[in-house]
Each structure stands twice: as structure tokens, then as C-alpha cells.
Structure 1
Amino acid sequence: MRSYALSEISNPDDDMDLDVVEPWLLPLDVWHRAKGGRMVEFAGYMMPVQYEGIIAEHLWTRENAGLFDVSHMGQLFVSGEGAEAALEAVLPIDLSTLLLGAVRYSLLLDENGGILDDLMVARWAQGFYLVVNGATKWDDIGTFRELLPDEVTLNHLDDRALLAIQGPKAFAALDRHVSGEHPLSALTFMKGGRFSLGGVEAWISRSGYTGEDGFEISLPSEAAGHVADLLCGEAEVKPAGLGARDSLRLEAGLPLYGHDLSSETGPVDAGLQFGVNKRRRVEGGFPGAARVQADLANGTARRRIGLALEGRMAAREGAKIFSGNQEVGIVTSGGFSPSLQHPIAMAYVDTALAAEGTALSIEMRGKRLDAKVVSMPFVPHRYHR
């Protein structure tokens, strides 16, 4: 674990040769390769994109349980005198309503209200546990360094791995291996607690990014292989890679930072105003509050929408969207839906054309693909509430 006084934090790359930066290896790198994982570079890490195949892993997770390694994500811990008020000055979250063990989605915004990252915040007994995106975690640490006072401490929990077991049979498989003060069944969606998992101390929350019931498990890196073997030893569980995680989150209508979210998008046009908690919408007091309040009051020029495409060709990120001959938007994520058996996409379009049922077209490889606006999620969420 790296512990920083915020006044002392330095760029993690300061002592690196910037001309040669090798991808980082996950704690389970050898494990993935032994399981037949096809490794690719993602967010500065070597990660498994697939094992058996993306579609097979996607459908297995929808019907059974997939085990994903998301250890590239940043795990942070914020504590110290005044940590709650200090964190509220950085994030548009209402921590007064976040109970012990509860988990909540939030946003890190710049001064103009653009999204720097989306993240999860949980209340632990001595402070706040944050999970941020792997591709942005060093920038996030720098932002927290700048905005949090010196008496608040930021710990980068880089000695911990993060696994996600997702799918309708995830509970049954995980429950066989956990014990604790409370049963695993006591956790509902966006609740967490400390458990012993195969003899390993772990923080387990009932959450994930697939739209399915499931759990995220933070545990010591050196124990990740042991726990992965335990869970994949269950008949319901198979390892799944980045490809299936992406197609699952797309079907669930969940945006991915760096694709559907960026500093060019704000919470309201992204449809993420729920990440700005009710009290904070009124009171403000966080970076970008003026834009968020104005957008909530007046609306935005564009909106994030879902699109269902005809035929079999998928629309990809960057594809232009048209209404007649007028360009009206751009695709930010797209692919073929294994569950629905037709292509789907997320996009931003002019607000006047964002109503469900609106007919549009997408330009791909010199062709126009017919599409219509549909509600998201494309596949209903099955969270355990």
C-alpha cells in the first residue's frame, strides 16, 4: 500500500525512463496465461481480452457466472481529520446519507463541469474507499492531491487486487467460500462488507459493471490466484476477459470513460445526473457546480442515447449519425449484441432527436445503416435489490 500526505504525492512516473514504458502486469498475469487468456495492452496493463471467446464468455456470464480481473482499476482510501467534508468539496456526492458499508456512484468533475472520471465511493469505518478507472487513476490521484487539504491522507492500495464475479449464479458460487459476521446474503445491490474468502481477508461489495447480479472483491494481491482458483473450481464459474466485459456493459447501457464519457461531456448530457446527489444539486460547492446546475435547469444541446441497428453490421466508435442528410451526432460505443442478436450502440445526438423511436442513420464504410433510438439498458438489469 502506498500512503501519501497529499502535499508529498509525486508523479508515479517521475523516476521512470519515459522513452521506454513497459505495460504493467496484473497480479494474475501468469494465471491468465495458464488459463489460455489472450493478452492485450489496455490502460497501461497487459490484460486478457478473451479465453474461450468473447461471445461464449458473454453468454456464459448472462446465464451462469463469469470471473473478471479488474485489478487495473485504482483502489484508493481517503481518511483523516475532515475527510468527509473535504471529499464533498471534490465530488458532487452527499456523504451524510452514505451509511457504513454502502457504495455509491459518483463523478470527478473539472471546473467547467466536464467529467474527469466516474468512480465508486464506499464508506469504511475509518474513511472512504474509492474505485477509479485504471486509465485515469494517476491523473485522479493528482487531482485529489490538488483539491484535498494536507491533513487528509490518500492511500493508493496498490498491494490489492480486484476481482469481479458476475452473473445470476455468482452468489451461489461465492457463498460456498465466504464467512463473516454477517452472511453474504445480507448484501444487497451497492452494499459491501468484510469477509473471509477461502481464508483470505476481503472487502466484498454487491456491485459490478455487467448489469447482472454480482460481486466485486478487493483482496491482497498475493492471494488473488488462490481465490481465482477457488471460484473457477465451481461449476458455475468460468474466467471472462475484457471483450465480454465490454459487450456486457454495453448491453447494460453503462458508459465507459474515455469512450462515452470525457471532459467534453457533463453529467446531464451524459444522463448521469443521479451521480450528483440531490442536496448537492441545490447547494453546489463542488467543481463544475455552476454548469451542472445550469444544465439541470435549462437542459443540454445533446444527450447520450441508445440505438438499435437493423441488419448485422455494427456501428463503431466515431461513426457519424445523420437525420436525413444532416449530421446530428456521433457513436461512442457500438457492437453486436450477443444477447439480442442485433447491433446496438451508444451515442450523443442533438437533444431534439433523442426521443425513443426516432429514426436515424449511421455512416459506416461508405454505407448508411438504419437505426432508431431505444431506451437503455438494452438488456434489463438484474441487480439484487
Structure 2
Amino acid sequence: MSDETDLDPTEPQILPLDAWHRAKGARMVPFAGYTMPVQYEDGIMAEHLWVRESAGLFDVSHMGQLFLSGDGLDDALEALVPADVRGVKPFAQKYSLLLAENGGILDDLMITRWEDGLYMVVNGAVKYDDIGHLRDHLPDAITLNQMDDHALLALQGPKAAAVLARLVPGIEALVFMTGGRFEWNGVPLWISRSGYTGEDGFEISLPAEHAQAFADALVAEPDVKPIGLGARDSLRLEAGLPLYGHDLDEETTPVMADLGFAVASKRRREEANFPGAARILIEREQGAIVKRVGLRVDGRQPVREGAAVLDADGSEVGKVTSGGFAPTLGTPIAMAYVPLALAAHGTRIQLTQRGKVHEATVTQMPFVPHRYVRSGGK
């Protein structure tokens, strides 16, 4: 395929809003090849609760924004992902997975139909791997542009729509997993009603040179505060959303990850022409050996990634992949991969971390109900 992007990820990367974050009192940490704000002066717990009650502004410009175009694009991409790409309507979004030949997950991503191609958002930590994979496997007729001159902001929380509508009238007509083109003071915006917190919210792609002015306009609203990576992680954990490189990896199939909805298209299943289709379809019918589940942990001490799941004999049979304290619930929660025999809701299991045994109960996810605004107001 033809390529119009610089794939060198070795240089240190700075967010377009780096100085803005520091001026707001952010504590900056390395993440996904960038220096990013983990929290501001109020702290992670306060930021988390603010998003649940009001509106939080996240800088997610580390994510890869890609634009794909060319003849035969839909069919070419369907050879790499299990989604019904052909069926994605204009300005609609679809969650999908970039798959390895063994059916393992190389990345999870969002695909959106634009007027003349497909806009794709991929995870920051693996975006260069994704670009390389796409370049290697898509035909020459397809052009890939990395939109590295664009920032990506996320405004999340129950007051996000009202706040954003004051700056960008018309966005309130969007529903979950749809987007549109808008303007703010002459600046072109791509806005989708989506996010990674389980709350209602929006993601805004805009030229990086205008990101600071737009961020200033948002936080000038009394209902908006800047929010860091720490609260983003606790919010997505409460929402039961997996994080690539932690809950998803190349050894994990969509069925193991409880992401069977990503293989929901009857046509795609019948054609079975996506990577790892034979394995994934068998697992879909018969069940995988292990499954991602939610856990409510007894007591107050969080159990972190890497803790072992034990069977009745004390043998290790699984791993915790994400864990922490849930501020909304006031209790520790986690996600783990466990054998199917232990995956039923209500099952009591044991975890061990640093020599200490913790009791936990398998529970349904999301831990906190999603509050997406869907078509029909549901």
C-alpha cells in the first residue's frame, strides 16, 4: 500500500498541550511513548468523582488517528478485522479488533465512515505497530495517512453535552457511536459521541495548533475540569472496558476477552475470511478455555494487575489484568482471566498478591452502569 506517514517512534513525543497541562498543575508521567498528565492538584479520587457528576476534559492526543482511503478499502480492511466494515454508515462508528493470524488481538480500535474514506483511532502504545501491520497487509491501492498534526480531546460526564453545545451548537443531536463535522471560531472539528469512561461524552479531533485555545474555552466553563490518566483508568475499569496491553494482547482472542459482539455480523461469520476465523468461531460456539470476568474484591485493599487466581487446591489458574479501588462503589474491583468453570457470576474465588490471599466474587460487568445516550434516548 502507499504510505504517507513517518513511522519513526524513537524520538520523545510531547503532547500538543504539554505546557498547558503543566500550567494547570499536572503531574506528568511517561505513558505510551509520551509524557502525559496522570493527575492534577485535586488528585485521582476527586477527578474521578467529578467526571461522574459533571464534565472532565481528557487529553488523548497520544492515540493514533489514521485516515484510510482508496478503491476496495472496505473489503481490504475486512481481511484484517472481524467487523462488518461495509455496513458502517456515513459518520457512524464501529468498535473492532485488529487480529493476528492465530485470532489473537493486535489492538482494539474505532472505525468511522467519513465522506471519502475511513477514520480510525488506535491505541497510542501500539500505533506504530498498527501502522506497520496495515502497511504490510493492505493493498497498494489503499493510502494511509497518520493525522499527527491533529490533537484528540475527550469531554466526558453527564454535563458534557450541555457544556459542549454552548460552544458548538448542534452536537446535542449526536447519539452514541455517531459523529459529525462542526466548527468553533472557524476551526474545523470532528466530534463523535463516544469515550472510554462509561459516561456520556464526546471525542473531538482538531488541528493541534488550535487545541490549547479550545481546551481553554472548555475549562472556562465552571462544569469542566482537566482530568488525568489516573482517573481515566479508574473510570474505564468501573465501566468494564478492557485496556490493550493489560486486558488484551496477541494471545487473547475476542471470545476469551468477552468481546464476542465484535464478531456479531452474520455475513462475516459465514464468510469466515478474517484472521483466526476458524479458531474464533469454534470458541464462539463451544466457549474458550478462559474468559475475562469482573471481580468484586472483599475488604478495602485493591488487588493489582499480575495477581494470581487460585483454584480450590491453591494452584494458579488465572491472572488479574486490571485492578484498583472503585471510587464510585467504595470497594476494590478487578478484571481477570479465569477458567470457564470459575467464570459464572457469583462464583467465589481466591486471589494471591505478594503472599497475601484475597477473597473475591465473580460479578457482571460493567461494575457501574454505562450512561451512553443512544438512539431513541436510551
TM-score (normalised: structure 1): 0.94
1:198, distance to aligned residue in structure 2 (A): 4.0
- Which of 264, 267, 291 aligns to 1:277? It is 264
Aligned to 1:252: 239
Alignment of 1:308-347 (within 5 A): 308-324=296-312, 325-347=314-336
Aligned-partner residue type, residue 23 of structure 1: P
- Whether 2:209 is the aligned partner of 1:222: answer yes
1:286, distance to aligned residue in structure 2 (A): 1.4
Aligned to 1:156: 146
Aligned-partner residue type, residue 110 of structure 2: M
Aligned to 1:55: 45
Alignment of 1:19-34 (within 5 A): 21=10, 23-34=12-23
Supply the distance in 2 between the matched residues of 1:361 and 1:339 (Cα, whole angstroms): 24
Supply the distance in 1 between the matched residues of 2:299 and 2:342 (Cα, whole angstroms): 22
Supply the distance in 1 between the matched residues of 2:317 and 2:262 (Cα, whole angstroms): 27
- Whether 2:41 is the aligned partner of 1:44: answer no
1:266, distance to aligned residue in structure 2 (A): 0.3
Aligned-partner residue type, residue 305 of structure 1: V
1:197, distance to aligned residue in structure 2 (A): 2.5
In 1, are the aligned partners of 2:5 and 2:146 still within 8 Å (CA)?
no
1:82, distance to aligned residue in structure 2 (A): 1.2
1:327, distance to aligned residue in structure 2 (A): 2.1
- Whether 2:353 is the aligned partner of 1:364: answer yes
Supply the distance in 1 between the matched residues of 2:6 and 2:39 (Cα, whole angstroms): 35
In 1, are the aligned partners of 2:92 and 2:179 still within 8 Å (CA)?
yes
TM-score (normalised: structure 2): 0.96
In 2, are the aligned partners of 1:9 and 1:145 still within 8 Å (CA)?
no
Supply the distance in 2 between the matched residues of 1:341 and 1:9 (Cα, whole angstroms): 45
- Whether 2:356 is the aligned partner of 1:378: answer no
Aligned-partner residue type, residue 50 of structure 1: Q
Aligned-partner residue type, residue 66 of structure 1: G
RMSD (Å), alpha carbons = 1.3
In 1, are the aligned partners of 2:152 and 2:203 still within 8 Å (CA)?
yes
1:93, distance to aligned residue in structure 2 (A): 1.2
Aligned-partner residue type, residue 315 of structure 1: V
- Whether 2:116 is the aligned partner of 1:122: answer no
Deviations 1:256-299 (A, max 9, x none): 00000000100001011111231212211111112111211221
Supply the distance in 2 between the matched residues of 1:209 and 1:86 (Cα, whole angstroms): 28
- Which of 323, 338, 355 aligns to 1:349? It is 338
Question: How many residue pairs align between the two structures?
Answer: 371
Supply the distance in 2 between the matched residues of 1:223 and 1:9 (Cα, whole angstroms): 22
In 1, are the aligned partners of 2:196 and 2:241 still within 8 Å (CA)?
yes
Supply the distance in 2 between the matched residues of 1:217 and 1:383 (Cα, whole angstroms): 17
Deviations 1:197-221 (A, max 9, x none): 3432100000000000000000000
Deviations 1:213-264 (A, max 9, x none): 0000000000000010000010110000000000000000000000000001
1:365, distance to aligned residue in structure 2 (A): 2.4
Which ranges of 4 or more aligned residues in structure 1 deviate by more than 2 Å?
8-11
- Whether 2:83 is the aligned partner of 1:93: answer yes
Where structure 2 has 5 or more consecutive residues not aligned to the other structure, the ranges are none
Supply the distance in 1 between the matched residues of 2:232 and 2:287 (Cα, whole angstroms): 32
Where structure 1 has 5 or more consecutive residues not aligned to the other structure, the ranges are 14-20
Aligned-partner residue type, residue 60 of structure 1: W
- Whether 2:231 is the aligned partner of 1:235: answer no
Aligned to 1:296: 284
1:328, distance to aligned residue in structure 2 (A): 2.2
1:120, distance to aligned residue in structure 2 (A): 0.1
